[in-house]
Amino acid sequence: MALLSVITAPDARLKAKSLPVDGVDGEVRALMDNMLETMYSAPGVGLAAPQVGVHSRVIVIDIAEKDATPEPFRLANPEIDWASEETILCEEGCLSVPEYFAEVSRAQSIRLRYLDYDGKDRELEPEGKLAACIQHEIDHLDGVLFIDYLSVLKRRIILRKLIKARKLQAQKIPA
């Protein structure tokens, strides 16, 4: 297994659409495993392939508490086929938008189809935090970040600060 580096905004690779995988082969499984390891090490509760520069429709999630038994999900080609009208407000963060948090409105429950680690067709009906997190990750596959739901002004402020932080970081490390 390997740790992958996570791309931070602004970056064109986070705005690109990801393509479905043909099936879950060894390469996709290795990607899923490396993404999970990267997510746990961050730490984060979810990670989408485009965040590590791979434009395949693959996401991993684990919303279990730190001291609880891990409950990893590895999903390929996730597709939401139903979403509740009822919404919830979720305080969201993103490994690609470090140090910023904001409330985002998400469907309270969803139903999705996906391919699991063994390439089997599966269905899931998550609600609450798990549902919100899956919606956040699927957004990444479509080039959407949670800050895209904020006002233009707020988004601009956040992106400017991220650019500034990146410049400061670049100065610190001599080329």
Rule CB under 5 A: which residues touch Ni ion?
Answer: 94
- Closer residue to ligand GNR (CB): 58 or 133: 133
Contact residue for ligand GNR among 9, 14, 32, 46 (CB under 6 A): 46
Nearer to ligand GNR, 36 or 132 (CB): 132
Q: Around Cβ 117, how many Cβ atoms within 10 Å?
A: 16
Q: Does 75 help bind ligand GNR (rule: CB under 6 A)?
A: no
- The reply to whether 137 belongs to the active site is yes
Residue 92 touches ligand GNR, criterion: CB under 6 A: yes
Residue type, 39: M
**Which listed option, ligand GNR, Ni ion, none, makes contact with residue 106 (CB within 5 to 8 Å by class)?**
none
By CB under 6 A, is residue 136 in contact with ligand GNR?
Answer: yes
Rounded to a whole number of angstroms, the minimum distance from the CB of residue 68 to ligand GNR is: 16
Would you give the binding string for ligand GNR spanning residues 95-134, x where CB under 6 A is met? xx-----------------------------------xx-
Among residues 140, 155, 158, 162, which is the contact residue for ligand GNR, using CB under 6 A?
140
Q: Are 79 and 114 in contact (CB under 8 A)?
A: yes
Count of CB atoms situated within 10 Å of the CB of 92: 20
20 lies in the binding site for ligand GNR (CB under 6 A): no
Nearest residue to 31 (alpha-carbon basis) of 1, 51, 61: 1
Task: Give the separation between CA 140 and CA 136, rounded to whole angstroms.
Answer: 7
Q: Work out whether 72 is an interface residue with ligand GNR (CB under 6 A).
A: no
Looking from the CA of 41 toward its CB, the CA atoms found within 13 Å total: 12
| Closest separation in Å from C-beta 111 to ligand GNR | 19
Taking alpha carbons only, the member of 57, 75, 71 closest to residue 20 is: 57
**Between the CA of residue 13 and those of 18, 19, 86, 94, 145, what are the distances in Å?**
10, 13, 32, 15, 12
Tell me which residues are annotated as active site: 137
